Amino acid sequence: MVSRIIPVEPFDLVIFGGTGDLARRKILPGLYRRFCAGQMPDDARVIGAARGDLSDDDFRDMVGAAIEEFVPKDRRDAKTIKEFISRLHFVTVDAKGTDGWDALAKLVRKDVVQAFYFSVGPSLFGDLATRLHKHKIANAEARLVVEKPFGRDLETAKALNAVLASSFDEGQIYRIDHYLGKETVQNLMAVRFANVLFEPLWNAQYIDHVQITVAETVSVDGRGAYYDKSGAMRDMVQNHLMQLLCLTAMEPPSRFDPDAVRDEKLKVIRALDAVPVENIVRGQYGPGDDVEGYVEHSENPDTKTESFIAMKVDISNWRWKGTPFYLRTGKRLKARMSEIVITFKETPHSIFGEDAGSHANVLTIRLQPDEGMDLRVTIKEPGPGGMRLVDVPLDMTFADALGPEAEDVPDAYERLIMDVIRGNQTLFMRGDEVEAAWAWTDPIIAGWTERGDRPQSYEPGSFGPEDALMLLHRDGRRWREIRK
Ligand code: BG6
């Protein structure tokens, strides 16, 4: 495989919340890796901005330590770390006041690509955007990178969009959903739109159902205050699972360009049916041997927040009418496993008779771990004894198929940050898309809130609540196992 690292133009990237958790875990280690890959030009600079009183050197030490902690040892090199951190600067800035803005204005160059990453709580987005504008720091092409959560409902998302729009154009706003930066998620588009094999079958006539699972083993320990207000629906479904659903279900865009792709995703969201209560299962992990339950991680002893949700979603359009999409995500489940499973219909008639068994092709797109795809095809079981059918996998684990470079794929954040610098919005959410996603989500959440529904308890390390299994059983289907 030929490595094609395309260097980007010189840039100043300002990270508001530069000392925060996301910056330390993902953004700065990601930039270091792009630096190692030779993608950062000599005069690219990264500027941390936060409330803390840090010097450039303090910030560099902090980032050096973050790289030690979050970049695997075999990808670290003392000399390169030193070179990378020499590109870093720090400015103390008060997002809600006047301190630091003049210093930032002096530091940020006007004649390079400017990117401002809002790695802070959404309550500060408006303040930051307004001050960047007011202090004339941002030039006309400056890019704003906005982290999730983008609002907590339609109303707050609209307000956020409006406040950003008062200082910046939509073409400058990069709303991050890091699932769109994952290698396999983009591969889903390549598989669908760069092969003739699947697209003719990619519809309700040939696909029985689709399952999208994002299972995690982590708990919400340490994030209880945030999670209590969000739950799995806001934290995962409204954004990450919705994006996976959109890319699976959308019509082929005419070009792989930002608005063509986002127009098609938007149409899918707008075609989603309201979800009746019987098609939703909410769960909350209970305590287990030696592990605490959700209640212990929450700030509210009577919490009704869901750490798990499964739902059956119908899309009312010509392509998908009659083919359900089952979504499922949860914390503290049996394994960390994210995948999209497309189960095709059985052949209309089995020429081999009932004894040969019935079989359906299944295409599994594995997001993590072991990124890759697996297509189960039906063949004859070898040997004598007549025609017995058996399913075998055509497995393509990217690391096996594409060699060591496939193991070195950029992390979602690395890719997305470089897209910001390049000015490519294809993998970012447009304002109307986020609003449409909330418009679908809001009544679902309002339903269980008004009814006062309590999520069902499930055992840590399990597949989630029993009722989630029933959601498929009652349709004569079953979930793919959550496996290690
Ligand atoms: C985040 C959610 O957006 O995505 C977290 O807030 C979740 O709750 C995380 O754990 C999952 O991301 P990934 O890349 O580890 O699958």
Give tens-digit pLDDT for 170-191: 999 999 999 999 988 888 999 9
**What pLDDT shows up at residue 407?**
64
Nearest CA residue ID for atom 5, ligand 1 = 235
* In the predicted structure, residue 111 carries a pLDDT above the cut 90: yes
Ranked by mean pLDDT, the top range of 245-254, 288-297, 357-366 is 245-254
Q: How many residues are given for the chain?
A: 484
pLDDT digits (tens, 9 = 90+) for 333-353: 999 999 999 999 998 888 888
* In the predicted structure, residue 324 carries a pLDDT above the cut 90: yes
**Residue 209: which of 472, 22, 28 has the closest Cα?**
472
pLDDT digits (tens, 9 = 90+) for 382-418: 888 778 888 888 877 766 777 766 666 778 999 999 9
For residue 235 and ligand 1, the question of a CB distance below 6 A is answered with yes
Of 21, 180, 217, 236, best ligand 1 pocket probe by most atoms within 8 Å of the beta carbon? 236
- Rounded to the nearest angstrom, the distance between the alpha carbon of 43 and the centre of ligand 1 is 33
d(CA 105, CA 452): 50
pLDDT digits (tens, 9 = 90+) for 142-168: 999 999 889 999 999 999 999 999 999
d(CA 469, CA 166): 47
d(CA 458, CA 285): 5
Per the listing, tokens 């609003």 go with 435
d(CA 370, CA 365): 10
For residue 419 and ligand 1, the question of a CB distance below 6 A is answered with no
pTM for this structure? 0.94
Q: CB-based contacts of 446: which residues, under 8 Å, 6+ apart?
A: none
Q: Are 90 and 47 in contact (CB under 8 A)?
A: yes
Start-to-end CA distance of the chain, whole Å, equals 29
For residue 216 and ligand 1, the question of a CB distance below 6 A is answered with yes
- Nearest-atom number in ligand 1 for the CA of 230 is 6
Q: Are 293 and 465 in contact (CB under 8 A)?
A: no
Q: Are 273 and 313 in contact (CB under 8 A)?
A: yes
349 assigned to active site = no
Of 185, 235, 339, best ligand 1 pocket probe by most atoms within 8 Å of the beta carbon? 235
Q: Are 63 and 35 in contact (CB under 8 A)?
A: no
**Mean pLDDT, all residues of the chain:** 93
Q: Are 201 and 344 in contact (CB under 8 A)?
A: yes
Q: Residue range 19-46: average pLDDT? A: 93
Which residue did the predictor score with more confidence, 235 or 483? 235
What stretch of H or E contains 308?
Answer: strand 308-313
